[in-house]
Amino acid sequence: MKDHSKAASAVENNLNLLISDISILQEKLFNQQLRLHGEITLSRAQAQVLALLAPRDGLTQTEVLEQLSIEKSALASLMTNMENNGWITRRADSKDKRSKRVYLTDKIWQHSDTLSKVAEFSAQTALAGFSNKERQLLLEQLSTIRQQLKTALSK
């Protein structure tokens, strides 16, 4: 019989594996909750785009790209898929015709309350047992890690 505790320990002691595992589990919980509400299913990247656009609808594709830290080709494919699902529209920027702005559609706005509630539930579940101070510290530390990695990639 294999000792699975060593494998679990390896994940917990490896930053890359741990963050990846948390992300996958968050996506699964998010989609499980959406299914319970009879709503749509989203990939992690799609959910990130929606979360990014909800408070700032009409960002340019370049602005979305910069915020999500994904490859340009991956974003193009993601946007095409989301547009085909009727969740976003892309329109030329009125000031710069080379630039496309991304807007959420009425179809996705119909799900906004449920998406917000499910996102909040997922976050609360993940952070259960943490004090407000611990939550804030964790978010600050993760933001620092993210910024350090972005800086290293820009060199």
- In this structure, what are the phi and psi dihedrals at residue 103, rounded to the nearest 5 degrees? -125, 145
**pTM, full prediction:** 0.72
Question: What's CA 52's distance to the chain center, in Å?
Answer: 8
Q: pLDDT tens for the chain, 155 residues: list them.
A: 555 556 556 656 788 888 989 988 998 898 888 888 876 778 778 888 998 999 999 999 999 988 887 888 999 999 999 999 999 999 998 888 888 999 999 988 888 888 888 889 999 999 999 999 999 999 999 999 989 998 998 88
**Portions of the chain given CATH number 1.10.10.10:** 42-110
Q: How far apart are CA 19 and CA 110, in angstroms?
A: 31
Can you name the CATH fold of 42-110? Arc Repressor Mutant, subunit A (1.10.10)
Residue 117 neighbours by CB distance under 10 Å: 13
Residue 98 token pair: 């080379």
Residue 146 makes CB contacts below 8 A (sequence gap 6+) with 69
